[in-house]
Amino acid sequence: MTKENKVVAIQEIKDLLQDAKVVYVADLEGLNAAQSSEFRRQAFKNKIKVKVVKNTLLQKAMEQIEGVDYSEMFPTFKGNSALMVADVANAPAKLIKGFRKNAEKPALKSAYVQETFYIGDNNLETLANIKSKEEMLGEIIGLLQSPIQRLVSALQNKPEGAVEANAEEPATETPAEESAE
């Protein structure tokens, strides 16, 4: 690879990483052509950008990104590496996890999600369980709506006769009290 090609490759990686909030580095080694193609197809469906990269070029690109110190991830850059960038925090982890039902690979090397680093494949389950922004907002809205829905439901289901019975009771008690005197 010529120096010009390396500069172009580093710039492409930097463009991918610029403003990225979710960055995964995975090991795709051992996937055959069909598996690799299917992995990329599923990644595209889930709006995950996948790029197989050279480790040294990835490290150089990450070193040039301002605002994030990716150095914790550098020790995991060995062997075959695929860079995965997404908007949804758990999407790449779910893709890897789902894909591994049929194969040993891909394996998670490291990830940068929500300003936190995750190193090693043992963090895959944790990453897959991270709730996306949309899921969190949905839960919050559900929690806020729940008491209101119960109140509206209780008011709608209240028998109409219950209000009338309460209104009549004092009237029936009053004559009974008067006749007892």
Q: Which of 130, 152, 171 is the last residue of a domain?
A: 130
Predicted TM-score (pTM) of the model is 0.72
Q: Which amino acid, 132?
A: S
List the CATH number of the domain containing 124.
Answer: 3.30.70.1730
CB-CB contact of 93 with 130 (8 Å) = yes
Query: Is there a single domain that holds both residue 106 and residue 84?
Result: yes
Query: Is there a single domain that holds both residue 67 and residue 16?
Result: yes
Query: Is there a single domain that holds both residue 119 and residue 143?
Result: no
Residue 172 sits in which domain range? Answer: 135-180
Per-residue pLDDT tens over the stretch 68-86: 899 999 999 998 899 999 9
CB-CB contact of 74 with 59 (8 Å) = yes
DSSP readout, 48-92? -EEEEE-HHHHHHHHHT-SS--GGGGGGG--SSEEEEEESSTTHH
Query: Is there a single domain that holds both residue 73 and residue 157?
Result: no
CA distance 52 to 144: 44
pLDDT in the model for residue 165:
47
User: Given pLDDT bands bounded at 50, 70 and 90, which one contains residue 25?
Assistant: very high
Query: Is there a single domain that holds both residue 34 and residue 89?
Result: yes
